[in-house]
Structure 1
Amino acid sequence: MFTKFNDGIVVKNNGKTLQIRIVNSKIINVFITDKDEVRKDTIAIEKRKHNTPCNFDVSENSDIITIKTESLSIIVNLNDFSIKFLNLEGLVINEDYNGGVRFYNNDIRCYKKLNEDHYYGFGEKAGYLDKKGENLEMWNTDELMTHNQGTKLLYQSYPFFIGLNKKYTYGIFFDNSFRSFFDMGFESNEYYYFGAKGGQMNYYFIYGENIKEVVENYTYLTGRINMPPMWSLGNQQSRYSYTPQEKVLEIAKTFREKEIPCDVIYLDIDYMEGYRVFTWNKETFLNYKEMLKKLRDMGFKVITIVDPGVKKDYAYNVYREGIENDYFVKDKFSIPFIGHVWPGESLFPDFLRDDVRHWWADKLKDFVNEGIDGIWNDMNEPSVLDGINKTMPEDNVHYLNGYKILHSEAHNVYATYMAMATQEGLLKSRPNERPFILSRAAFSGIQRYAAVWTGDNRSLYEHLLLMMPMIMNLGLSGQPFSGSDVGGFGDDGQEELFIRWIEAGVFTPFLRIHSANGTREQEPWSFGKRCEDISKKYIKMRYEILPYIYDLFYIASQKGYPVMRPLVFEYQNDENTHNIYDEFMLGDNILVAPVYLPSKEIREVYLPKGIWYDYWNGKEFEGGKHYLIDAPIDVIPLFVKEGAIIPKQNVQAYIGEKQIDELIVELYKGSCGEYIHYEDDGISIKYSSGEYNLTDLKFEYVNGILKIYINRIYSGYKNGIKKYKFVFKNFNKLDKIFINDHEYKAENYVIEI
């Protein structure tokens, strides 16, 4: 017997309760418990004010309940609460194995039949793209640069995966913030399972006709990125640490003198007074306000690191206020927990509390008002240098919505709540500007608050390779804004490795060069003239294709699609793409095949089905095949698909240096092509109230006649593009060219209108 509600059903039997909620016709929430408790969503689920109940039908026959939506049938066995998900044709997409959910003393698991060929997602994980056969865990960990292909625990946790075989695609999001685990066929080739060391069996089944739809539906649940400030897509330079302030200015001036575009310089922990957050070192940054002004005048943004650890020092106002207002995390004896991090003995704000986040936001507001443009949250796993397993004890106490919870539940979401507080502080300081936050640790849903990077890597070719599947799986897990420490953080960099890393890094969503104390300096000019010239070439290329990259962030804000995509995302029906981890797509038009081994000047490249053009020389390739491509030290293999439209702009020293009035539009030969171009002011939040433009660009090419159409489909931004420059690629015959039905003559395959 079941009870029906507006959004689903509840069934009780044999001491267990099953709740099935219909989020929409393709997203089904399953909650099973053997306790007297209500379902709890984590911070990952974006709270929506207007969830419209979805139409569904329920029927009962003997020991079976069937729920039908417009897209799915859900069959529940009342004897053991095992569940099957079927499409409308009756194909079983996903089903429980041997009873499905099992409860142990402090361990919950859900077993599923293993029928899929591939599993993707899981966020920031080492290894290859496809996770079938692997045993994975989710527990944010300060990994300290020792990771390799087999490392299980890293800085971020995304308990979400996508299952794919020849017949169907689906996703499962396990909404549990405790330490969780996913056995994807490691233990058996008959089943996989997921579970956690505590918490609830609360998961979302997400159906999609393809991977794209699964990601779109998953990000409907967990939220999508807001448009970032455009300057955050530019080149960014960092080191642990640039100090004193004269060194910071020297780095900035060198970028401008060498005409290497750069938008951001980072300040690591040495800018602080004894590593106290929201302070400045009175010796090395005595005139920091003057330094910030000079950097601003040169067109640089400044991002400072802010860690959660607050130094224990009663003379220090942040510590004093935190103690007096009882803002810090406590141990099991209700005493403020003390752990050692960079400042020495430190206490940690309980960011899960609303009042603590508001307090932190106020402190941050006062700090950034002095001229800081963004915040870099580090050590926020949270990392405790003398802690058990590198963090605070799991029985430490937090308060969430007024309820006491232990650190075992709060650990994986701590960084996301800190990012929420940081976002609030930046918006308080500049309510009309888009905030930028970079976070090392994360949980599903972090994309609503912060960009991420893959943590402390090393100057190794292995880590250059690891970067690619990590960022691709982060994108599939809802986080489109991610990157790595270009060149490697730890160890001494080398010229060839740095060149190959910058060649790949300029095509990742987030571009930042970063290196550690005591290692070789790692600016683009640090390895000699050859490296400097090649680095400049590719960084300039990044700035040239920024309109294309910015458009991809707009798509991410609307659909949740990754910016940097695995080939399988675009070519799911091409089985050769299903575990390609060393090539990637930038959007749906550009294929990037980095060189990630030393002394290699030829690399094998797989091109999916279709026609592709070599970006550098225009050579045409038939897809569905592997090719050996020449890749001398200054060349990364790049390919553009037929019919592609690529918007570009003239290069600037930094974003906003001058008004961009002309859009360069490259059209690649094909029978037709279409592209939606987005534009806004790049900095304010006015786009959210309609101040943006959407322009539909399309072409048709038949028998030497090229017809181009420019159609403004939404107009809300007055300072948009005034001039178009069309450049025609691989068109070997152009007898006539029409733009919006007016005939034009091309000079050297270029038209300006």
Structure 2
Amino acid sequence: MAAVPTSSPVVLELARGRVRVRITADPLRVVVERDGRPGAPLSITPWARDGTVHDRFVRVTEGVVAHERLEPEDELVGLGALPRAAGAAGGTLALRAASGRRGTLRVGLPADDVVVVELTVDGRDPEDPNGTTTPEDPPLRIGARWATASGTRLAGLGARHHPSVDHAGRRIQLGADRRYLGPGCSPAMAAAGGVPQGDYAPVPFLQSSDGWAAWLDTAGNGTRFDLDAGAASASVRSASGPLRLVLHVHPGPVQRLLAFQRATGRPALLPDWGYGFWKSRDVHEHQDQVEEDVRGCRWHDIPLDAVVLDSPWETQYNTWRPNPHQLPDFGGMLRRLREDGVRTVVWVTPWVNVDAVGGQTPPDPASIRLHARSAETYAEGARTGAYVRPPATEAADHLAAVRDALAGEEDALEDLPVAGAPYLAQWWMGRGSPIDFTGPGEAWWRTQAETTLALGVQGIKADDGEGYYLPETVRFADGTTGATRAWRWGDDYRRSMRRALERVHPGQGVLFGRSGWTGQQATGMLWAGDQASDFWSLRVLLAATISAAHSGISNWSHDVGGYLGDAGVARCSPELLVRWAQLGCFTPLMQAHARLEQEPWTYDHRTLDLFRGAALLHEMLVPYVLAAARSASRSGVPIVRPLAWLDPGDDRLWGVPDAFGYGPSLLVAPIVDEGSDGRTVPLPEGRWVETWSGREVVARRGDPPVPVAAPLERTPVWVRSGAIVVSHPLEHVARGLGDVPAAERPYVATLWGRPDRGRAVALLPDGAAVRWRDGRWEPPDGRDVTTAER
């Protein structure tokens, strides 16, 4: 197919709605203009670079140290436009690189205000119908770069654990962008950039204050956004497939996010208990400790909706079978908890072990013996073809390692053919094989989950699933490899668990996952992974909360008090536990979980009282949060809302890392500095009511930040004046949410301030409306709604 010659520098021109795209061949540029978009047109330069990868994975912290050695750019020029197929909504340009490589640049406008740029540089000659290749190998990395205006703010990219929510000036490799620099970091590690930690929930979606958003539609390791030197550059390793850059040029950040979610899924809507208060601990050594957690909450008047059985609770990783020595009356325990209004959530990861060396086991001898053997389901999974497979050249070695690990056991897989060898690797709870959810492994794994759920378990804590565990060379049943599917593995995993929950507990199960990427928001609740118990980590967690919201994540949680402890050896301080609980109060799901003893009743009376108050307020706000969650599932707007969304024209709000909108009407400014009894907050333009004083504050764009006192008993919270906030009365949630149907629950509707037009409306969780018109309340018929005005 010959390229179409052109005498004009513009070889392709496309238009749709208010967007116009021009493509030039030499220099190779894609120029995107939108009527009404601020700033200059986007002038996009495709590029390619050779190089080698030297990334290093630190298993003990699940951190990736990213490093590549890159050569100068392999300059790309256009050869001319290729003929369009009939009805094609775009065009294709044939390319040649300085190295002699060939490629294509495809540009399309699939929807209003959406531009797709797809780049392939792989040695194939698009003019040769026989697909003859040039001698050159594909480049290591292909990408696209465009200038950013001075002062442009850049946000999103998932749950970025970094002190800033404005990523301008940073270079970010997704899956490798997290370093701990808190007080537990040694000077030597600080000098090296900090302790690399698990970057659990990246999302390749970048928001800009300059009228555009960029999504890289890929799932490979090595995805990068380089945002320094006055430019934005988005790139992938060519082994992961073509660069597919989707640009959204809708007029506002919320519209751009909603367009992204139309393509990738809107946030999941969970049952009410998924937005309640959960209690967990690192290891329940025995069933008595599970019941002790419940009794502790009951005795100290802390509401409780679920208890989480974290690792370990099974006979081995990950059999889905309760350990009879650790949990001798598993079914009876589930039944008793459920009768008390408490659901049970169980922890799993998508690995099945041949050994648990380096993992956790309960301390009793019988449990230790169980974990010294391979999982009793491992061999069955291997025969089923349930595991990810190694490259063919390494299959014999992996099979030999598996047989060696199973030596002396009843089924040592002596007759398993080399072609069926599972991929065997070390992970942080031992050595095992990851589940392949693209083939028969999905049904095999899910069936085991459904058996456990049928016993009365109603939630799954789906740990792990991050793409950095999968080398490029591993193979999946559907023909894909780790190079193209690594970060989609977690999505496969979550969706399988979601199906299991829906089959056994339709509409009432909760998936609580850790891994992220494109589409995570559609499958359940995400928690922030492992945090140290110090104020530096709390501050960074708050920034991650806001970055996650910029990326479309709505159902969000974290371990109140931090999971890892202070420097790994001391538990959370009383002040930090209170401040963390105050952030947890205004998080969609509030969950207490830690390695060390951080039960609030093991602290002093004041700490216990303040923790209890935060948990009770969280429960009282469940109707408000659930209504926001229902709205998110329909519109896509997350429950947590960056301040920039409340006034996109106020440039300073794009960089605020420590305050956020919560649902449609609240603004929360947690305290995240040790010893602090006050702070300042830049309020978005509008009228706001201070919840602690009832005073109305009129904020105008450009006003200085508002100073606010915040003793330990107070979290600074404002309500948009004229808004109705719906809650439960305290006495209704004193023990938790229980099982009362939404139509029978009591509610309190509180009007804060006065509406501009003499009317206001708010929704109950099931969509019924509570209205206030000209001084009169109009609750829905037959509903128990108490009204109040502040």
TM-score bracket, normalised by the shorter chain, equals 0.7 to 0.9
Cα–Cα, structure 1 residues 638 and 91, in superposed 2: closer, same or farther, change >3 Å? closer
Q: Would you say the 8 A contact 2:267–2:638 is kept in 1? A: no
What secondary structure does 2:602 align onto?
A: coil
Q: Tell me the equivalent position of 1:726.
A: 787
Q: TM-score, normalized by length of structure 1? A: 0.79
Deviations 1:564-600 (A, max 9, x none): 1111111112233121111111123111111111111
Corresponding position: 1:266 with 2:308: yes
Deviation sequence 1:316-366 (CA, Å, 0-9, x none): 552122111222112123332212346633112112x14321221111111
Pick one of 629, 643, 655 that aligns with 2:737. 655
2:680 paired with 1:604: yes
CA contact (8 A) 1:458 1:490 kept: yes
Return the alpha-carbon distance in structure 2 between the equivalents of residues 207 and 707 of structure 1: 43
Answer yes or no: is 1:331 the counterpart of 2:390.
yes
Q: Summarize the Cα distance change of 1:143–1:133 in structure 2 as closer, same or farther, 3 Å threshold.
A: closer
Aligned mates of 1:381, 1:364 — CA distance in 2: 20
**Partner letter of residue 546 of structure 2?**
M
Does the CA-based 8 Å contact 1:141-1:156 persist in structure 2? no
* Equivalent residue, structure 2, for 1:742: none
Alignment of 1:593-742 (within 5 A): 593-623=669-699, 624-651=703-730, 652=733, 653-658=735-740, 660-670=744-754, 671-672=756-757, 674-680=760-766, 693-695=767-769, 697-700=771-774, 706-708=775-777, 722-729=783-790
**Aligned CA distance change for structure 1 residues 723 and 296 (closer, same or farther; 3 Å):** closer
Find 2:199's aligned residue among 138, 151, 154. 154
Deviations 1:137-190 (A, max 9, x none): 11379989989997686112211101113xxx221110011124444432x22x
Deviations 1:646-702, CA, capped at 9 Å, x for gaps: 11112312223545443311112232353341433xxxxxxxxxxxx44263545xx
Shift of 1:60: 12
CA distance, structure 2, for counterparts of residue 61 and residue 215 of structure 1:
36
Q: Is the 8 A contact 2:9 2:26 kept in 1?
A: no
The reply on whether 1:496 has 2:575 as its aligned counterpart is yes
Equivalence for 1:306:
348
2:510 alignment counterpart: 436
Q: Residue by residue, what CA displacement relative to the aligned partner does 1:240-283 show, whole Å, maximum 9, x if unpaired?
A: 11221011111102212222111011111121123343121121
> What is residue 562 of structure 1 aligned with on the other side?
638
Q: 2:548 matched to 1:514?
A: no
- Alignment TM-score, normalising by the size of structure 2: 0.75
1:481 aligns with 2:555: yes
Structure 2 match to 1:131: 167
C-alpha displacement of 1:721: 5.8
Name the structure 1 match of 2:474: 396
Report if aligned partners of 1:644, 1:667 keep a CA contact under 8 Å in 2. yes
Instruction: Tell me the residue number matched to 1:244.
Output: 286
The residue correspondences of 1:330-369 to structure 2 (distance < 5 A) are 330-332=389-391, 333-334=394-395, 335-341=421-427, 344-351=430-437, 353-369=438-454
Q: Is the 8 A contact 2:272 2:626 kept in 1?
A: yes
Q: Name the amino acid aligned to 1:195.
A: S
For 2:501, the equivalent position in structure 1 comes to 426
Alignment of 1:447-462 (within 5 A): 447-462=521-536
Q: Secondary structure at the match of 2:600?
A: coil
| Cα gap change, 1:112 to 1:698, in 2 (>3 Å) | farther
The answer on 1:257 being equivalent to 2:292 is no
Closer, same or farther in 2 for the Cα pair 1:93/1:236, shift >3 Å? farther
CA distance in structure 2 between the partners assigned to 1:211 and 1:489 by the alignment: 33
CA distance in 1, matches of 2:374, 2:140: 43
Please give the alpha-carbon distance, in whole angstroms, between the structure 2 residues aligned to 1:327 and 1:141: 31
Query: In structure 2, how many angstroms separate the alpha carbons of the residues matched to 1:578 and 1:597?
Result: 21
Task: Report the alpha carbon displacement of residue 126 of structure 1 after superposing the two structures with TM.
Answer: 2.1
Question: Distance in 2 between the 1:99 and 1:411 partners?
Answer: 24
State how far apart, in whole Å, the 1-side matches of 2:376 and 2:4 are: 56
Contact 2:317-2:351 within 8 A present in 1 as well: no
Structure 2's unaligned 5+ residue stretches are 49-75, 77-120, 122-137, 356-372, 396-420, 566-570
- Asked whether the equivalents of residues 160 and 177 of structure 2 are also in contact (C-alpha less than 8 Å), the reply is no
Gaps (5+ residues) in structure 1? 2-10, 15-58, 383-389, 681-692, 701-705, 713-719, 730-753
Where 1:329 maps in the other structure, the secondary structure is coil
Letter of the structure 2 residue corresponding to residue 381 of structure 1 = E
Aligned positions of 1:225-236 closer than 5 A:
225-236=267-278
Residues 1:86 and 2:33 aligned together: yes
Paired residues of 1:84 and 1:92 also in contact (CA < 8 A)? no
> What is the CA RMSD across the aligned residues, in angstroms?
2.8
Given that residues 378 and 440 in structure 1 are in contact (C-alpha distance below 8 angstroms), is that contact kept between their aligned partners in structure 2? yes
1:573–1:588 CA distance, 2 compared to 1 (3 A)? farther
Q: Distance in 1 between matches of 2:204 and 2:30?
A: 20
Q: 1:604 to 1:89 in 2, by over 3 A?
A: closer
1:374 alignment partner in structure 2: 459
Which deviations, in whole Å up to 9, do the C-alpha atoms of 1:618-648 show, x marking residues without a partner? Answer: 1222323323211111111111121111111
Relative to structure 1, the CA distance from residue 179 to residue 315 in structure 2 (aligned partners, 3 Å threshold; closer, same or farther) is closer
Change in 2 beyond 3 A, CA 1:114/1:721: farther
Displacement of 1:493 in angstroms is 0.8
SS in 1 for 2:291: helix
Q: Percent identity?
A: 20
Q: What letter corresponds to residue 723 of structure 1 in structure 2?
A: D
Letter in 1 for 2:29: S
Name whichever of 238-247 and 620-629 sits farther off: 620-629
CA separation in 1, counterparts of 2:692 and 2:44? 52
What is the CA–CA distance in structure 1 between the aligned matches of 2:198 and 2:312, rounded to whole Å? 28
Greater alpha carbon shift after TM alignment, 295-304 vs 661-670: 661-670
Contact 2:725–2:749, Cα closer than 8 Å, also in 1 = yes
Query: Aligned pair in 2 of structure 1 residues 60, 209: CA closer, same or farther (>3 Å)?
Result: farther
Does structure 2 retain, via aligned residues, the 8 Å contact 1:377–1:419?
yes
Cα distance in structure 2, aligned partners of 1:498 and 1:12: 66
CA distance in 2, matches of 1:509, 1:152: 24
Which letter maps to 2:786? K
The 10-residue stretch of structure 1 (391-400 or 582-591) with the greater mean CA deviation from structure 2: 391-400
Match of 2:539 in 1: 465
The answer (yes or no) to whether the contact 1:554–1:678 under 8 Å persists in 2 is no
1:713-737 per-position Cα deviation (integer Å, ceiling 9, x unaligned):
xxxxxxx8613322111xxxxxxxx
Give the secondary-structure state (helix, strand or coil) at the position aligned to 2:502. Answer: helix
Q: For residues 331 and 13 of structure 1, what CA distance do their matches in structure 2 show?
A: 44
Rounded Cα–Cα distance in structure 1 between residues aligned with 2:461 and 2:177: 17
Give the AA of the match of 2:389. Answer: K
Residues 160, 178 of structure 2: 8 Å contact kept? no
CA-to-aligned-CA distance 1:6-58 (integer Å, 9 cap, x gap): xxxxx9679xxxxxxxxxxxxxxxxxxxxxxxxxxxxxxxxxxxxxxxxxxxx
> What secondary structure is seen at the aligned counterpart in 2 of 1:442?
coil
CA offsets per residue over residues 396-448 of structure 1, 9 Å max, x none?
Answer: 22233xx2x32232221211111111112222223x33431111112110122
User: What's the counterpart of residue 599 of structure 2?
Assistant: 523
- 1:111 corresponds to 2:145: yes
Q: Are the counterparts in 2 of residues 327 and 356 from structure 1 also a CA contact under 8 Å?
A: yes
Q: SS of the residue aligned with 1:108?
A: strand
2:10 alignment counterpart: 63
User: Could you tell which deviates more after superposition, 97-106 or 120-129?
Assistant: 97-106
What is the alpha-carbon distance in structure 2 between the residues aligned to residue 135 and residue 497 of structure 1? 31
C-alpha change, 1:80 and 1:328, in structure 2 (3 Å) is farther
